[in-house]
Amino acid sequence: MYNELINLLKSLFKGEKHVTENKVFTLHHRINFFVIMIGVVCLFASNYLVKDPITCLNGGKYAEAYCWLHGARQLPDHLSQAVSYCVGEQKEGNKPLSSYYIWLPYVLLICAVIVKAPRFIWKTIGERGMIESVVELRKDEKMKATPEKMAGRFKKIKGSNRSRHFCLSFLFCEILNFLSVIFLFIILDSLLDGEFWGYGAKVIKYWQSEEKGASPMCTAFPTEVSCDVSGGGASGGIDNENTICILSNNMFNQYYFLILWVWWCFLLVISGFYILYDLMKFTVPAFTATRLKYSLMLYEKEKSLVDNLDMSKYDMYLLARINQNLKGSEIESLLRELQPQLENHKERNEMILNMVERD
C-alpha cells in the first residue's frame, strides 16, 4: 500500500517526455488534482478509518450517529464563548448545518474528476499525439528525429486544418480549465450553504480586524454544535434530548478549505492571464514570431531565421510548441530546414540531378 502511494505521487509529478501544453495547464491537471486529493484522502480517513467524526456529550453512539446523519446547529453565542473559542454566526432559523459534512469527501472526489476532464479532452481530441509524431523518429524507439525529418513532417501539417485544430482546441481546453475552477467554487458553495464563495476573503478580513466578532471559519466549520436527539419507546411516546457534540474534523476543514480557496483564486487569476496571452498569439501573428525570436536569443542563435518563415498564426503557434521539446541547436537546424530559400535550393538541386541522370 505504501509503495503504491509513493508510485502514485511520482506519477503525478513526473514530467512528460513531450511538452504539449503550458505550465498553467499543468498546474490544473496535476497540482490542483493533487491538492484536491489530499482533502479526499484526509477526510475519508478521518471519517471512516482513524476516529469518529463526531463525539457527543450525552446519548452514546446512537446520539453521535443521529447527529452526524441529521445535522446539528450552532451553539448560542453565550454558550459558544463559554465552552469554545470557536464562535460562529447564527444561521437564519438556526437550521442544521453539519449534515452535509458527510458528503465533503465524495464531492471533492467529483471535483478531482472535473479537474482532469479538460486534460483528457486535450490529449484525446485536441493534441492526439501531434507533437510526438513530429519530434519522435519512431514511437517504438522513442528517439528524436533529425531536423530534416521534423521539417518534412511539419510541412505536411503546415497550412492544414490540423494546425488550426491544435491551436483552437488548446485554447478551448484552457477556457475549460478556467471555467472548471469557477464550477468548483459553485459546487462547494452550494454544499456549504453559501459559505465558501467568499470564505477566504472573510477569514482574511476577520484576521485583520481589531474587533473580533463571529469567526467565518467557525460559521462554516463549527467545532462544537448543539444537537436535538429524538427517540421513543414501544408505547409511542417521543423523547427529546439536547446534547453538545464536538466535530473534530472541522479543525482540519477550517484551514484546508481556506488553502483551497486561496489556491483556486490564484488559479483563476493566472489562468485568465494565460488565456489572454494565447489570444494575443492567435490574433497577432507577429507576437508569436517575437516569442520565437526571444527563444533563439536565449540560446544565442540567429533570430533572423524567424523573419523568413512563411506561416500562418496557427502554424507559428504549433512550431513554438514543438520547439519547447528541442534544444537550441535543434531549433536552429529545424528553422533552417523550414526556410523557403533552402527548400527552393533543394528543389533546384534535385532537378539538376534528375537532368544529369537523364542525359
DSSP secondary structure letters along 77-88: HHHHHHH-S---
Where in the chain does DSSP place strands (E)? 55-56, 73-74, 224-232, 238-246
- Least confident range from 7-21, 216-230, 257-271: namely 7-21
Show the domain range for 335.
Answer: 284-359
Q: Which of 39, 8, 26 is nearest to 103 (CA)?
A: 39
Q: Is residue 179 part of a domain?
A: yes
C-alpha to C-alpha distance for 157 and 153, rounded to whole angstroms:
7
Q: How confident is the model at residue 49 (pLDDT cuts 50, 70, 90)?
A: confident
* Residue 279 forms part of a structural domain: no
Confidence label for 128 from pLDDT (cuts 50, 70 and 90): confident
Q: CB atoms < 10 A from the CB of 129, how many?
A: 13
Digit-coded pLDDT (tens) for 299-330: 555 556 666 677 788 888 888 888 888 877 78
Are 148 and 77 part of one and the same domain?
Answer: yes
CA distance 272 to 175: 8
3-class SS at 72? coil
What pLDDT does residue 197 have?
93
Three cell numbers written together for 334: 529545424
With 0.85 as the threshold, say if the pTM is over it: no
351 pLDDT higher than 60: no
Q: What is the pLDDT of residues 74-116, one digit of tens each?
A: 777 666 666 667 776 776 656 666 667 888 999 999 999 999 9
- Among 273, 305, 333, the domain-final residue is 273
Starting at the earlier edge strand, list the strands of the sheet with 238-246. Answer: 55-56, 238-246, 224-232, 73-74
Convert the pLDDT of each residue in 268-279 to its tens digit. 999 999 999 888
Domain end (from 228, 250, 273)? 273
- State CA 339 to chain mean position distance: 39
Cell of 265: 483564486
Domain for residue 247, yes or no? yes
Same domain, 181 and 146: yes
User: What total of structural domains would you count in the chain?
Assistant: 2
Task: Note whether residue 325 is domain-resident.
Answer: yes
Does residue 159 sit in the same domain as residue 306? no
